[in-house]
Structure formats: structure tokens, C-alpha cells
Structure 1
Amino acid sequence: MTAALLFWSCIALVAWAYAGYPLLAALLARRYGHAPFQDADDCEHVTVVVAAFDEEARIAARVRDILMQDYPADRLQVLVVSDGSRDGTARAAASVHDERVRVLDLPHNVGKAAALTLALGHVDTPLVAFTDVRQRFSPGALRALCAPFADPAVGAVSGELVIAAADHGTGEGVGLYWRMEKRLRSDEARLGWLHGVSGSIHALRRTLFVSIPAGTVLDDMWMPLHVLRSGHRVWMVRDALAFDRASHSVDEEFQRKLRTLAGNWQLVARLPWLVNPFGNPVFFAWFSHKFLRLLVPWALLVALAACAFADGPVYRMLFGLQLLAYAGALGGLVLPRLAARLPLLPAASSFVMLNFAALLSLPASLAMDPSRLWKKH
């Protein structure tokens, strides 16, 4: 393979992952996509599970926020799992005097995945919803989240995470990436291809829950993937909103992304059927959306090297433009407030940051337990 052919092959891979596949999904969703039957008045009994670790300061407010949902009070329960907290998390959760609130106080820290699995042993409602301590729900979020379960084909439902603007320049770029990601997930849902949910707001039928191995990073992919494999559908409700703040710094955002991407490699190791086109019911979508994005940074590096060795003035110009673009993006990471004043630079900086995390995700997942990549904040 010549250097020029190698260059264009790598560019094609990047273009498909970030533009071609999302465009195809959008076109197919418009032509063939369909929504399940939904009934917002048919509110099934639901338990909202909140896993918490050292959240004494925030857990009571989070529980009250859930209890204030526009949902029939006699059909709503809250189960707080204090995962071996070293502070008064369990005590603070129990201070919300409401018979619908239960607290499971684990004696030792077992990690979120194992804590959720233990919690499900204490859930007896047909539906179970999941959220984190950080977020807050819109008033009708839970009702909207549970409405699609009126369709028996639906096994899991994702809400939508709304991230408040950050005070650093790259927040604009990350926000653009997140808006594109949510649109792609919505299109995948209409096609029956959705294979990930928002960990901050999602629900599933309790009978479809599959125990999550301890140390699993992406519980919000483990659950919907098993729902799909059971023959049920994963849907996304864009009216079921959870609100969160953006990362305070580029480093914090980088660590979040590194954890997520390392978790994707971990899933491949723990669920080998993902790479089997005949065993994975959404192989095409998973491969195009998740797996190729793990390969993009490697393709970018090969494209840069191939361009340097390709003959002709066009490739010398493209090589120079790549170097200039990377230099500008890195400058935007170093000086985010200045970059915010320049069109497209925040998006370029975020693209480089996200792909640097993807580049490190494979060695990180091999060198350590990816669950330790999460930094509490």
C-alpha cells in the first residue's frame, strides 16, 4: 500500500466515524425510524436507585428532588445505596423522613457496578430507574422516562443529560460534541440501534437486569446491551431531562473521557460477543459508533506519518496543514479563554483532547483497572 493510499484510507475511517455514520443514521431514521407506543398516564411502579459514596452533603437534596417528581406518590420508591461511605451518607439519606425512601448501607466499598447489582436484589417493582447524586431532574422527567414501557417491546429507556456551560473555553467544543452525540443517539433509537444510555437518567424492566461484574466501568452500556440481546428495544426520551454541570477544567473533562473510553475496551474483553457480527444484534451501529472512535486517534497518527512520506506538493501541503491544525488545537487547550474568542478553535481543541484520551485508553485499560480512572468530584 502506497503512502498516499494509506493516508486516504485513514482519513476515510475518521470521516466515517464522525460524519458518514451519523449522516447515514440520520437519513435512515428519517425514512425508516419509528417510535414505540407511549402512555404518560400509565405510570408503572418504579424504584429509583441512587448509588452514593461519601455524599453526605448532597444526598438528602437529591432524594428530595426525586420525591418531588410529577409521578404518582404511591408508585414511586427511592433506594439509596451507600457504597461503604466513610461519612454520614446513609444517615443523611435516612434523614429524609418518607416511607418511600430506603437506604442500603454497605459495610465496605465495592464500586458502583457491584453496588447496583446488590441494590437490585432489594427492588421488587416492575421498573427500576438509575441516576447519580450530582444531577437534578426536570419535574416531568420520571413520567416521561417510564411512558415508553407501555410498549412491551421496550426493555430500557434513556433520558437526556443537559450539561451547563463551563467557564473554560473548551466547554464550547465539548458542548458541540455532546449535542452531536445526543442527536446520533436519538437517530439510533428510532432505528432500534441504540446501545448506550445516559447514566444520569435511565430505566429498564427489572426482569431484564443482568448482574454487573465488579469493577465494570460502563454500567450504562452493560445494561442496554443485555436488553438488546434479550430481544427488546432501547429507546431514548429527549423530554426526560437530567441537569448537570460541565467539568471545571480540561483535566477533569479529560479524565472523564479517558475513563469512558477505557471502559469500552473493558467491555470488549468482558463481552466478546460484541465483536461478533452474528452475536451482537447491533454490531453495525456499535462498530461504527463506539469501536471505530477508539481507532480514530491511531488513524490520525498514521495519516500524519503517511502524508509526510507521500510524494507530491499536495501531500506536503496537507502535512503542513495538519501540523498547523494540531498546534492551534493544543494552543487552545493551553489558553482556553483566548481560544474561546476564535471560531471553531474550541471545537478543534476538544477534538484533539478527546482523541488523545482515546489514544491512551487502550494502554490504560491494559495497565490498570479502568474503574480506578474515575476521580470523585
Structure 2
Amino acid sequence: MTAEVVFWFCIALVAYAYAGYPLLVAALARRYGQVPHEADTGAALTVVIAAFDEEARIAARVRDVLDQDYPIDRLQVLVVSDGSRDGTAQAAAIDDERVRVLALPVNVGKAMAINAAMRHVDTALVAFTDVRQRFAPGTLRSLVAPFADPSVGSVSGELVIGAATGSSEGVGLYWRMEKRLRADEARLGWLHGVSGSIHAMRSAFFRPMPPGTVLDDMWMPLQSVFSGHQVWMAREAIAIDRASASIDEEFQRKLRTLAGNWQLIARMPALLNPLRNPAFFAWFSHKFLRLLVPWALLVALAASAFADGALYRLLFFAQLLAYGGALAGLALPRVAARMPLLPAASSFVILNFAALLSLPASLAMDPSRLWKKH
């Protein structure tokens, strides 16, 4: 295979992963997409919040959930204090009979904390959220309404990231594109992941997670997928979060997520089998290929350096210039913010550098350490 063929193959892979597949899904969703039946049933619901050393914020988070416009006698909140070293359990136990607190004696990680919580859930529906977000009005009703359709097994809400500046603007652009892709996948019945900060599922579909599982927001909805049910995205169910405070924080978040994808493949090998994975095409195009993109970018750069012809010399230096500009944007975020598309380019480089490191990171260490608080 010549260097020229290798170059264009790699460029095609990158283009398909980030543009071709989203455009294909958007076109198919417009033509064939379907929306599940929704009804405001006010079904009995337990909201699970796993927390570790969150004494300062947990009470406000619990009240935020209880303040939702949801039938009072149909809503419960279950807080799991995951071996917290502070007063998280005591602070969570506010004076409301709808709130229960489960205090684990040692820190076992989010996945195992959720496993423990599910042994105490007695409602047909269960929702999951984190401590640092807050819910927009009407969120729980919107999250539960799609379960009126028996084909729906899990529902994701929408995470809205607060105002961002500098390189975080590129992160915001990427996240808006990602949410649009997920919404289109949902209309085709292809959605296979949810937002970890706001999602719900039928309790009967829950399967305990192995210790140290990083992507609980993939493991749980995939149980619905493998059971033959749909994962829906309720865009009116909104959790509001802040943008990452720094480039390093954003990088660590991406590295954790991408390493978790490799871990998930090892723990759920059926993902690789199109005969067993009902969402194989979507998962392969959306998740797996993005793990390969940084390697394709490196090979494309090398191939253009060795290919014959002035065109490939030009493409080689164009790539170097693009990467140099993106790195300059990371070093000078205030300058980058005033230049169109440069924040997005910087975000793209961060994402793919994290993807490049995700495989060795998942092999060299326990990926759960990439997110566990200390």
C-alpha cells in the first residue's frame, strides 16, 4: 500500500468519524426518525445521588431535587455516602421523609456505590445524578414522561454547560455537536449512552457493575439496549453544570472517559459482536472510531511526509501549521478566543491527545483512579 493511499484512508476515517457519521445520522433521523409516546404519568421514582466528601454541597443538591414539580408522594431521594471522610451523610439527612441516606463504611467508587444503592431501590423507575449540577424546572417530569412508551428502557437528559471562556468555548462547541448527534441517534433507536449527570432507567434492567467501572453512563443504558429496548434523549430534562475550570481539568475528564471506553470493551466484549450488539453500527462509528482517530492523524502526517508530489508536501506543512495554531491557542487562550474556530481546533487537539493516551492509560493503571476523588 502506497503512502498516498494510506494518507487518504486515514483522512477518510477521521472525516467519517467526525463529519460523515453525524451527517448520515442527521439525514436518516429526518427521514426515518421516530419519537416515543410520552405521558405525564408521575410514576414512582427514586433519584440516586452518589457522593464522596460533599458535606458542603449535598444538602443543597438534595433540596434542588425535592423542589422539582413532581408528585410529592411519588418521589424519593437516596443518597449514598461513598465512605466519605467528612459529614456528607449527616448533611444529606435533611428533615424530609422522602430522603434516605446510605452510608458506606469505606470508599468503593461510584460504580459500587450505585450497586449498593440499587439494593435499596423499590420503585419501577430510578434516576441518577451527581452532586455538582442543578436541575432546571420540570426536569424530572420530562425525564420520566418517555417511559409511558413500553419500548423505552432508559432516558438521558441533557447536560447544559454554563458560560465558558477561552479554550472552553471550543469544548462547548464540541458538546453542542455531541448532543445533536445523540438526539439524532435517539430518534433512530441507536442511542447507547446517556449523560451521567441526568438519566433514568427501568429498575428491572439494572445489572450490577464490576468494581472500578468508569463509564456507568454507558454500562447502564447498554443493559436496556441488550434487552431490546430503546434509549431516548429527553432534551427538556436539563442538568446545568459549569465548564471545566482549566485545560488540565478538561484533559483529565476526557482521558478518564476515553480510557473508560477501552475498559468497557474488555468488560463487555459483546460490544464488538454485531450479532449480539443491537447498536453495533452506531457504537462502532460514534465511540470506537474516535479512539482510533488520533492514530489515524499521526499516520496521515507521516504518510504525507513520505508521499511523492507537491500536493503532499503542501498537505504535510498544512497539518503542521494547523497543529501549531491549535497548540498556540492552548498556550494563549485569551488570544484564541478572539480568533474564529481556533478554540475549537484547540479542543480537538486536547480530545485526540487524550484519546491517544487512553489505551496505554487503561492498560497501565486502573482507569477508575482517573476520576476517583482523594
Settle same-fold status: TM greater than 0.5. yes
Q: Is 2:214 the partner of 1:217?
A: yes
Contact 2:52–2:373 (CA<8 Å) still a contact in 1? no
Matches of 2:207 and 2:167 in 1, distance apart? 37
The residue matched to 2:235 in structure 1 has which SS? strand
Structure 2: how far apart are the matches of 1:248 and 1:337? 14
User: 2:99 — aligned with what?
Assistant: 101
Structure 1 residue 165: Cα displacement: 2.0
Q: Indicate the SS of the match to 2:257.
A: helix
* Whole-Å separation in 2 of the counterparts to 1:109 and 1:225: 26
Contact 1:296 1:355 in 2 (8 A): yes
Alignment of 1:156-235 (within 5 A): 156-167=154-165, 169-235=166-232
How far did residue 376 of structure 1 move?
A: 3.9
1:56-84 deviation per Cα after TM superposition (whole angstroms, max 9, x unaligned): 00000000000000100000000000000
Any idea what SS the aligned residue of 1:332 has?
Answer: helix
Match of 1:61 in 2: 60
AA in 1 matched with 2:146:
P
Q: How much has 1:139 moved relative to structure 2?
A: 1.3
The yes-or-no answer on 1:264 pairing with 2:261 is yes
- Equivalent position of 1:319 in the other structure: 316
Partners of 1:223 and 1:156 in 2: how far apart?
8
Distance in 2, matches of 1:357 and 1:113, equals 23
Which one-letter code corresponds to 1:12 in the other structure? A
Alpha-carbon separation, structure 2, partners of 1:193 and 1:212: 22
Identify the residue that residue 71 of structure 2 maps to in structure 1.
72
Contact 2:50 2:82 in 1 (8 A): yes
Q: Matched residues in 2 for 1:208 and 1:43: separation?
A: 20
Letter of the structure 2 residue corresponding to residue 154 of structure 1: V
Which residue is equivalent to 2:21? Answer: 21
Query: Is the partner of 1:165 in helix, strand or coil?
Result: coil
Task: State whether structure 2 residue 49 is matched by structure 1 residue 50.
Answer: yes
SS of 2:85's partner is coil
CA distance, structure 2, for counterparts of residue 108 and residue 15 of structure 1:
46
CA distance in 2: counterparts of 1:49 and 1:140, whole angstroms = 18
Q: How many angstroms apart in 2 are the aligned matches of 1:26 and 1:313?
A: 37
1:50–1:80: 8 Å Cα contact kept in structure 2? yes
2:121 is equivalent to residue 123 of structure 1: yes
Q: Cα deviation per residue 1:86-133 (whole Å; 9 max; x = unaligned)?
A: 000000001x10000000000011100000011000000010000000
Say which SS state the counterpart of residue 184 (structure 2) adopts. Answer: helix
Distance 1:282 1:375 in 2: 29
Which secondary structure does the structure 2 equivalent of 1:243 belong to? strand
How far 1:263 moved relative to its partner? 0.2
| Whole-angstrom distance in 2 between the partners of 1:30 and 1:63 | 39
Counterpart of 2:103 in 1: which secondary structure?
strand
Contact 1:192–1:234 (8 Å) recurs in 2: yes
Deviates more, 1:332-341 or 1:255-264: 332-341
- Could you list the runs of 4 or more consecutive aligned residues of structure 1 that deviate by over 6 angstroms after TM superposition? none
Report what 2:332 is aligned to: 335
What one-letter code is carried by the residue in structure 1 that aligns with 2:129?
A: T
Tell me what 1:283 maps to: 280
CA contact (8 A) 1:255 1:375 kept: no
Q: Distance in 2 between matches of 1:375 and 1:166?
A: 25
Measured against aligned partners, the alpha-carbon deviations of 1:161-186 in whole angstroms (never above 9, x if no partner) come to: 0001224x111100000000000000
Distance across 2 between alignment mates of 1:223 and 1:84: 23
RMSD over equivalenced CA pairs, Å? 0.8
Matches of residues 288-303 of structure 1 in structure 2 within 5 Å?
288-303=285-300
Shift of 1:85: 0.1
Q: Which amino acid aligns with 1:324?
A: L
Shift of 1:338: 1.1
CA distance in 2: counterparts of 1:113 and 1:352, whole angstroms: 30
How many residues are matched? 374
Shift of 1:375: 5.7
Q: Does the residue aligned with 2:101 lie in a helix, a strand or coil?
A: strand
Cα distance in 1 for residues equivalent to 2:24 and 2:373: 37
Give, in angstroms, the shift of residue 188 of structure 1.
0.2
Question: Does the 8 A contact of 1:46 with 1:75 survive in 2?
Answer: yes
Check the 8 A contact 2:128/2:196 in 1, yes or no: yes
CA distance in 2: counterparts of 1:199 and 1:70, whole angstroms: 22
Letter of the structure 2 residue corresponding to residue 26 of structure 1: A
Distance 1:376 1:170, change over 3 A: farther
